[in-house]
Amino acid sequence: MASQATIWRATVLTLFPDMFPGPLGVSLAGKALASGLWALEARDIRDSATDRHRSVDDTPAGGGPGMVLRADVLAAAIDAADAARDQPKVRPRLLMSPRGRPLTQSRVMELAAGPGALIVCGRFEGIDERVITARGLEEVSIGDYVLSGGEIAAMALIDACVRLLPGVMGKQASGADESFSEGLLEYPQYTRPQEFEGRPIPEILTSGDHAKVAAWRQAEAEALTKARRPDLWTIKAKQKRPKTTTDG
Which residues contribute to the site for ligand SAM (CB under 6 A)? 96-99, 121-123, 125-126, 141-143, 145-150, 153
How far apart are CB 94 and ligand SAM at their closest, in Å? 10
Residue nearest to ligand SAM (CB): 122
Q: Which is nearer to ligand SAM, 148 or 246 (CB)?
A: 148
Q: Which residues share a beta bridge with 138?
A: 94
**Least Cβ distance, residue 199 to ligand SAM (angstroms):** 36
Least distance in Å: CB of 158 to ligand SAM? 13
Cβ proximity to ligand SAM, 132 vs 162, nearer residue? 132
Cβ proximity to ligand SAM: between 145 and 208 the closer is 145
Provide the minimum distance between the beta carbon of 9 and ligand SAM in the complex, in angstroms, as a whole number.
Answer: 20
Smallest CA-to-CA distance from 159 within 209, 103, 210, 89 is with 103
Q: How far is the CB of 154 from ligand SAM (least distance, A)?
A: 8
- Secondary structure element (H or E) that encloses residue 74, with its range: helix 71-83
Whichever of 139 and 220 has its CB closer to ligand SAM, that residue is: 139
**Nearest in space to 7 (alpha carbons), one of 204, 166, 233:** 166
If one counts every other C-beta atom within 10 angstroms of the C-beta of residue 108, the result is 20
Whichever of 157 and 168 has its CB closer to ligand SAM, that residue is: 157
Q: What is the DSSP string of 82-121?
A: HHSTT--SS--EEEEEEEEEEP-HHHHHHHHHSSEEEEEE
